[in-house]
Amino acid sequence: MMSEQVIFRIKRFDPENAEQGSYWEDFKVDRKKGKTLLEGLFDIMENLDGSLAFRFACRAGICGSDAAYVNGKYVLACQEQISFYTGTIKIEPLPFYPIIKDLVIDMEPFFSKIRAVNPFVILKKSLEKEVIQSSEEKELMGNSIDCILCGSCYSSCVTVWTDPEYLGPAALLKAFRFVRDSRDAMTDERIGLINGNHGVWRCHTAFNCGEACPKELNPTEAIAYLKRQAVKKRFSRLFGK
Amino acid sequence: MADVEIFKHDILIVGTGLAGLSAAVEAAQRGKDVATVSITQAYRSHSSAAQGGINAALANVAEDDSAERHGFDTTKGSDYLADQKAVLAMTEQAIPRILELDKLGIPFSRTEDGKIAQRPFGGAGYPRTCYSTDKTGAVIMMGLYEQCLYHEVPMYEDRIVLSIGEKENKIKGVVAINLITGKLEIFQASAVIFAVGGAGRVFKDTTNSWHNSGFGFVLPYFKGVPLKDMEFVQFHPTGLATNAVLLSEAARGEGGYLRNKDGERFMKNYAADKMELAPRDIVARSIQTEINEGRGCGPDGDYVELDLTHLPAEQILSRLPQVRELAIRFAGTDLIEEPAPIRPSTHYTMGGISVNDKTESEMTGLYAAGECSCISVHGANRLGGNSLLECCVFGKISGVSTSEFVEANKVDDDALEVLQKEADEVEANIQNLFNGEGSEDGFKLMAEMQKVLSKNLGVFRNKEGITKAQETIKDLKERYKKIKVKYTGRIYNWELARLYMLGGQLHLAEVIVEGALKREEFRGSHCRTDFMKRNDKKFMKHTMAHYDVKNDTCKISYSKVDLSIWEPEERKY
């Protein structure tokens, strides 16, 4: 029999008692087959400490609310089985973001970058009557449409840590999604948007983002594609093509 | 007076799922001063978990499909409790609405000629469910969210609306708590759209998000707006047996089988023609019957199996990637190689805030759209693929209706006064919870409510069980007065927020129970084992629950069903 209880060691911060700073607190949580980290956090909220703050919603790994840094890895708390962990489970808010309370972070730095890449389709004139897009054309977007905006990649990116203005992996993946959308009319302008001082060229191809992504997406690869497009655009301007 | 911050907009939308975002985009396109307020960050709403698709008779796959046929299937699926003109309006507007979404850049899956792909779904005569693999809700919601960014719609997040400000049956705005500051906030608005989603969390095993508490339903109810047909609750046939996470109907649409412990495709005994693609209420009852009669799988015989192993792996990977991922993560089974354990789980609230086909409620300026509303287009049972549709069509209509309303109506001079008073009351309620007696544990009461409803108001119901639930809910309402919120900090106090909402949830549970007890018939999702026939003579009518302020309970009356297009007949598949 595995042990009946497991320790959740949670990094806490109470804004109403801010001078205390961040601190670690241990809670004993019942271990049960099938139980997730998120359910463990609810156990604590309901039975041990009502002050514990975290975000949550769908609890099926779809909404992106509950990304956290657990034993040094990026996870969605709702899709992690407690039974897969041995020993103490260390749970922290996503690193780099300002902390609001406990595991709740201020994601404005992340969302401001998403907004900066004009994340919406501007439809080609030729499609205004009827949209036609082949399956092959749709496939060009790949799984970039599956991003759930959980913010993990942004937290993991070494460039984000050194250049807070850097657009970061999620926003660039978003830009890729629209650059690759056969229905969009703004491809050139989009390349312009991601080609600046804090755009694609700041990516050092560390691949942290792909590793952090709970949806197994690969922003690094998308950024590499955008770099190629940016180069092509420059060459075509030079040689008038 | 409570210390509050004040925001003013012409149109305020409570909730940012597909209905709320559809409304926001429509009003923004019309140049209106519109804002959203939501309990989650704007992109986290539960529409994203809708997987299988959205119905519209585009006839991209089956040429002879039509809005009229879609309307008939919907009405028959509703066991004739849907209002037929509203149904036809929805199925007719489905077509231009989906084409409009396509132009917003929603990445739908495509046919060979580049049009929107469509797949078969339960209860439908034609393959008319448009989809994007099995992530349809998520991609539409993302597209509409992106449109809100384009229009720069102000989105107030991390806020829970706790009350409505109303005077002489006219809405003035809402009072919310900001989780990040812990302060109360007033949102003054001439028109308010409730788009708060479903109420699955009054039950125990549910496919719903943690935020589908149902609390939003009771705010209009407490101020005199009736709740309609709340006893009709859909149980999705294929919730994962481990934790009730939804496995999409698309799994059966793509050809999946249901098998009992003998490996038998038992649906042949219940719906020989449609088999696994019979409507959800029928499939859910069939599964429950197999389990109840000892043909369930596993050591406790408490589930059946969803089997896709006969489908090509390529088909599963390309069309059902998320279904596969969910089964791997939450049940440890790869559907390419083995079946997944499933059983019916509370899924969808057919009933809701009573509104007409313009989404207007009985209170001036108060609108509702999406799952929390009841027009009714789903009647006693909703067809798969019609919920996203209802959100997109009637969400947009609520954007039109409120835009027209605010053009014709000025802000009331007394609005802030009314809202400030309301805020004071909310603050008093919060203080009462902080200073409660504490002899009862709020979260235990919540669990009891969920358990008693799931046990007695599930797939099968009878007088004895419902009466038991009635007594329990009455008792819980009394015990609720003795709870105490132990943590008294203001910022991100979920203990406070959830227990505050529990007070409303208990009233919603009461409405469900009262409606179910009085409806002595078997119609759609409401299967009374003590009255196993549909009774059109007595019950071809909508249940209307009004809040009885004096007795702090609900009063049931009835209203007419619109049967002007199709003649009710026996519902067979």
Q: With bands split at pLDDT 50, 70 and 90, how would you rate the model's confidence at A1?
A: very low
Q: CA of B520 to nearest chain A CA: how many angstroms apart?
A: 35
Residue B494 in contact with partner chain A when CB distance is under 8 A: yes
Q: Which residues pair with A89 in a beta bridge?
A: A8
Sign of the four-CA dihedral A13, B494, B452, B370: negative
Cβ–Cβ gap A53/B491 under 8 Å: yes
Position B393, amino acid: V
Q: With bands split at pLDDT 50, 70 and 90, how would you rate the model's confidence at A240?
A: low
Nearest CA in chain B to A134: B114
What does the alpha-carbon distance between residue A163 and residue A160 come to, in Å, rounded to a whole number?
Answer: 5
Chain B, 89 to 108: residues with Cβ < 8 Å from chain A are: 99, 102-105, 107-108
Mention every residue, 6+ apart, whose C-beta is less than 8 A from residue A165. Answer: A197, A198
Q: CA of B202 to nearest chain A CA: how many angstroms apart?
A: 15
DSSP label at A44?
I
Cβ–Cβ gap B107/A79 under 8 Å: no
Are A199 and A205 in contact by the 8 Å Cβ rule? The answer is: no
Nearest to B149 among A51, A115, A131 (CB): A115
Structure tokens at A112: 């401001």
Mention every residue, 6+ apart, whose C-beta is less than 8 A from residue A121. Answer: A178, A181, A183, A184, B104, B105, B143, B146
Nearest to B495 among A50, A60, A61 (CB): A50
Cβ–Cβ gap B491/A49 under 8 Å: no
Cβ–Cβ gap A62/B138 under 8 Å: yes
What does the alpha-carbon distance between residue B316 and residue B128 come to, in Å, rounded to a whole number?
Answer: 20
The reported pLDDT for the residue numbered A3 is 61
Is the pLDDT at A237 greater than 80? The verdict is no
Is the pLDDT at A213 greater than 90? The verdict is yes
Is the pLDDT at A241 greater than 80? The verdict is no
Q: Where are the beta strands (DSSP E) in chain A?
A: 5-12, 23-30, 67-70, 73-76, 89-92, 99-101, 104-105
What does the alpha-carbon distance between residue A26 and residue A28 come to, in Å, rounded to a whole number?
Answer: 7
Are B457 and A19 in contact by the 8 Å Cβ rule? The answer is: no
Q: What percent of chain B has pLDDT over 90?
A: 97
Domain A5-105, CATH number (from 3.40.50.300, 3.10.20.30, 2.30.40.10, 3.30.565.10): 3.10.20.30
Position B142, amino acid: M
Are A141 and A225 in contact by the 8 Å Cβ rule? The answer is: no
DSSP label at A15?
G
> CB burial class (10 A; 0-12, 13-18, 19+) of residue B476?
buried
Under the phi-then-psi rule, with left for phi > 0, alpha for psi from -120 to 50, and beta for the rest, what region is B189? beta
B435-540 has CATH 1.20.58.100 classification: yes
Is the pLDDT at A86 greater than 90? The verdict is no
Structure tokens at A173: 């993946």
Mention every residue, 6+ apart, whose C-beta is less than 8 A from residue B509. Answer: B202, B449, B453, B469, B473, B476
Answer yes or no: is the ipTM higher than 0.90.
yes
Position B208, amino acid: N
Q: Is the fold of B237-345 the same as that of B435-540?
A: no
Contacts of A52 in chain B (CB under 8 A): 494
What does the alpha-carbon distance between residue B35 and residue B16 come to, in Å, rounded to a whole number?
Answer: 10
What does the alpha-carbon distance between residue A7 and residue A5 come to, in Å, rounded to a whole number?
Answer: 7
Low-confidence ranges of chain B (pLDDT < 50): none
Give counts: helices (H), strands (E), chain A: 9, 7
> Which of A63, A76, A132, A184 should one mutate to test binding to chain B, selecting the residue with the greatest count of B CBs within 10 A?
A63
Cβ–Cβ gap B492/A101 under 8 Å: yes
Cβ–Cβ gap B132/A145 under 8 Å: yes
What are residue B116's phi and psi, to 5 degrees?
-70, 130
Q: How many residues does chain B have?
A: 573
What does the alpha-carbon distance between residue B25 and residue A214 come to, in Å, rounded to a whole number?
Answer: 30
What does the alpha-carbon distance between residue A223 and residue A168 come to, in Å, rounded to a whole number?
Answer: 10
- Mention the CATH class of domain A108-239: mainly alpha
Domain map (residue ranges) of chain B: 237-345, 435-540
Residue whose entry in the numeric block shows the structure tokens 């208990």: B506
Cβ–Cβ gap A14/B489 under 8 Å: yes
Are B418 and B74 in contact by the 8 Å Cβ rule? The answer is: no
Nearest CA in chain B to A135: B110
Are B139 and B327 in contact by the 8 Å Cβ rule? The answer is: no
Cβ–Cβ gap B491/A15 under 8 Å: yes
Query: Could you count the other beta carbons within 10 Å of the beta carbon of residue B428?
Result: 11
Residue B176 in contact with partner chain A when CB distance is under 8 A: no
Query: Could you count the other beta carbons within 10 Å of the beta carbon of residue A162?
Result: 10
Contacts of B489 in chain A (CB under 8 A): 14, 16, 51
Where in the sequence numbering do the catalytic residues of B fall?
280
Query: Could you count the other beta carbons within 10 Å of the beta carbon of residue B22?
Result: 31
> CB burial class (10 A; 0-12, 13-18, 19+) of residue A117?
buried
Are A176 and A144 in contact by the 8 Å Cβ rule? The answer is: yes
What are the DSSP calls for B261-283, one per residue? TT---GGGGT-TTTGGGS-HHHH
CB pairs A-B closer than 8 Å? 146
Cβ–Cβ gap B491/A149 under 8 Å: no
Residues of chain A with CATH 1.10.1060.10: 108-239
> Which of B97, B318, B329, B496 should one mutate to test binding to chain A, selecting the residue with the greatest count of A CBs within 10 A?
B329
CA end-to-end distance (rounded Å), chain A? 70
> Which of A20, A46, A134, A182 should one mutate to test binding to chain B, selecting the residue with the greatest count of B CBs within 10 A?
A46
Under the phi-then-psi rule, with left for phi > 0, alpha for psi from -120 to 50, and beta for the rest, what region is A224? alpha
Cβ–Cβ gap A65/B330 under 8 Å: no
DSSP label at B397?
H
Angle, in degrees to the nearest 10, between helices B136-150 and B386-408: 20
Mention every residue, 6+ apart, whose C-beta is less than 8 A from residue B96. Answer: none
Structure tokens at B400: 């039109």
The reported pLDDT for the residue numbered B573 is 87
Nearest to A62 among B49, B149, B490 (CB): B49
DSSP label at B183?
-
Residue B482 in contact with partner chain A when CB distance is under 8 A: no
What does the alpha-carbon distance between residue B456 and residue B403 come to, in Å, rounded to a whole number?
Answer: 43
Nearest CA in chain A to B485: A50
pLDDT tens digits, B459-516: 999 999 999 999 999 999 999 999 999 999 999 999 999 999 999 999 999 999 999 9
Chain B, 9 to 68: residues with Cβ < 8 Å from chain A are: 40-41, 43-46, 48-49
pLDDT tens digits, B162-219: 999 999 999 999 999 999 999 999 999 999 999 999 999 999 999 999 999 999 999 9
Q: How many residues does chain A have?
A: 241
Is the pLDDT at A82 greater than 50? The verdict is yes
Nearest CA in chain B to A41: B494
- Evaluate if pTM is beyond 0.90: yes
Position B133, amino acid: T
What does the alpha-carbon distance between residue B278 and residue B76 come to, in Å, rounded to a whole number?
Answer: 12
Are B553 and B510 in contact by the 8 Å Cβ rule? The answer is: yes
> Which of B324, B490, B494 should one mutate to test binding to chain A, selecting the residue with the greatest count of A CBs within 10 A?
B494
What does the alpha-carbon distance between residue B94 and residue B107 come to, in Å, rounded to a whole number?
Answer: 17
The reported pLDDT for the residue numbered A2 is 53
Q: CA of A122 to nearest chain B CA: how many angstroms apart?
A: 8
What are residue B41's phi and psi, to 5 degrees?
-65, 155
Residue whose entry in the numeric block shows the structure tokens 């969920």: B450
Contacts of A120 in chain B (CB under 8 A): 104-105, 146-147, 149-150
What does the alpha-carbon distance between residue B207 and residue B238 come to, in Å, rounded to a whole number?
Answer: 10
> CB burial class (10 A; 0-12, 13-18, 19+) of residue B572?
exposed
Are B20 and B442 in contact by the 8 Å Cβ rule? The answer is: no
Are B527 and B285 in contact by the 8 Å Cβ rule? The answer is: yes
- Mention the CATH class of domain B237-345: alpha beta
Structure tokens at B342: 């499933």
